[in-house]
Amino acid sequence: MEMTLRWYGSKFDTVTLKQIRQIPGVTGVISTLYDTAPGEAWELDRILALKKEIEDAGLRLSGIESVNVHDEIKVGTANRDQYIDNYITSLENLGKAGIHMVCYNFMPVFDWTRTELARKRPDGSTVLAYTQAAVDRLNPEDMFDSISSDMNGTVMPGWEPERMARIKELFAMYKDVDDEKLFANLKYFLERIMPVCDKYDINMAIHPDDPAWSVFGLPRIIINKKNILRMMKMVDNPHNGVTFCSGSYGTNLNNDLPDMIRSLKGRIHFAHVRNLKFNSPDDFEEAAHLSSDGNFDMYEIMLALYDIGFDGPIRPDHGRMIWDEVAMPGYGLYDRALGATYLNGLWEAIVKSHR
Ligand SMILES: [Mn+2]
């Protein structure tokens, strides 16, 4: 595996490449062209400039998170082909730039959803948290206001103001889309992009829905073992793969994370590894990465990745906000650096104990 950190680009991120370079064991970053809109074709020059900036800092551009999928593709409108053509152009240019892993999601309207971006924990750190009771009280249009007031002046992925201004329209678009329709639209999209992925050896890595259940009545399909295996079979090409995000699949306590990892051998192209602390089955907060701080056995998760021969990029996920850092919630330097170091420690122990 290759330890990486997510980085939004020098215009958007409070963390610098120089800082990332100094985290022991982190050799790559996962980045994106953060100011491109979903549906736009990525230009080769911009990808190469991003790559060069990262390489000049002594790091590798280990993959893209994310190339976002336009809502017309997810809904399956008559216009979808033009957006898929643009997506194919983006993949072609990424392939030409030597990028081989692309993370994306197929979540309607909202990306990930949290109800608090700065819940205070007993040690004084703040974390992202979710409580179903709060979602049940909100109407979807108010969701954005509740999130945006907590973003520390940053723009969080999936919660761009331009996008949220259209929220009513977005909900209307998805009115007739149920789980089956969403599966069919995902299949259509994947079948059209697989040839360019085959040509340039690009591993597509779908990020699970977060939380792993329906929010505001919208369909959610990438939520459990049964559905993800259905998706793998539906387009049975190794380039159709998975971002295994423990914190997203883990929102549903019925998901057995190590078992899911083992069932996806050969199809996990990217891993997000983090812990959650549950106060009840529908109230959780994003704990420190350490097993004892939350509900997951992080050793078992890393062991399962080792057992299936996982060799893709991995990253610590959302960190707590600690030591008075001001950053995009979940994406500060300090706690993610601690997370990377901890995961590297687990990995070293696993590798050495298997000699
Ligand atoms: Mn994730």
* CATH code (residue 137): 3.20.20.150
Contact 2, 28 (CB under 8 A): yes
Query: How far does residue 175's CA lie from ligand 1's centre (Å)?
Result: 27
**200 a catalytic residue:** no
Neighbours of 212 (CB within 10 A): 20
Length of the chain: 355
* Alpha helix positions (H), the chain: 17-21, 44-56, 71-75, 80-96, 132-137, 140-148, 161-164, 167-173, 179-200, 225-234, 246-249, 257-263, 298-307, 334-353
Distance between CA atoms of residues 337 and 24, nearest Å: 9
**Protein residues near ligand 1, an ion, with CB under 5 A:** 245, 272
Q: Determine whether 324 is an active site residue.
A: no
- Known catalytic residue: 299? no
Angstrom CA distances, 301 to 138, 233, 260, 312, 315, stand at 34, 24, 10, 15, 13
For tokens 């057995």, name the residue: 256
Residue from 244, 235, 229 nearest 184 by CA: 235
- Say what the pTM is: 0.94
How far is ligand 1, taken at its centre, from the CA of residue 88, in Å? 24
Q: Is 289 a catalytic residue?
A: no
Ramachandran angles phi, psi of 123, nearest 5°: -85, 5
Residue of 245, 269, 289, 335 with catalytic role: 245
Q: Which residues contact 244 (CB under 8 A, 6 or more apart)?
A: 260, 261, 264, 268, 270, 271, 272, 305
Could you tell me which of 4, 2, 1 has the C-alpha nearest to residue 317? 4
Q: How many Cα atoms within 13 Å fall on the side-chain side of residue 21?
A: 12
The verdict on whether 245 is a catalytic residue reads yes
pLDDT tens, per residue, the chain with 355 residues: 999 999 999 999 999 999 999 999 999 999 999 999 889 999 999 999 999 999 999 999 999 999 999 999 999 999 999 999 999 999 999 999 999 999 999 999 877 788 888 999 999 999 999 998 888 887 777 777 767 766 666 666 767 777 777 888 888 899 999 999 999 999 999 999 999 999 999 999 999 998 888 888 889 999 999 999 999 999 999 999 999 999 999 999 999 999 999 999 999 999 999 999 999 988 999 999 999 999 999 999 999 999 999 999 999 999 999 999 999 999 999 999 999 999 999 999 999 999 8
Q: 355 C-alpha vs ligand 1 centroid, how far in Å?
A: 31
Domain of 24 in residue numbering reads as: 2-353
Buried b (16+ CB within 10 A) or exposed e, 46-82: ebeebbeebeebebebbbbbbbbbbbbbbbbeeebee
pLDDT of residue 152: 66
Q: Tokens 């949290």 — which residue?
A: 114
How many structural domains is the chain composed of?
A: 1
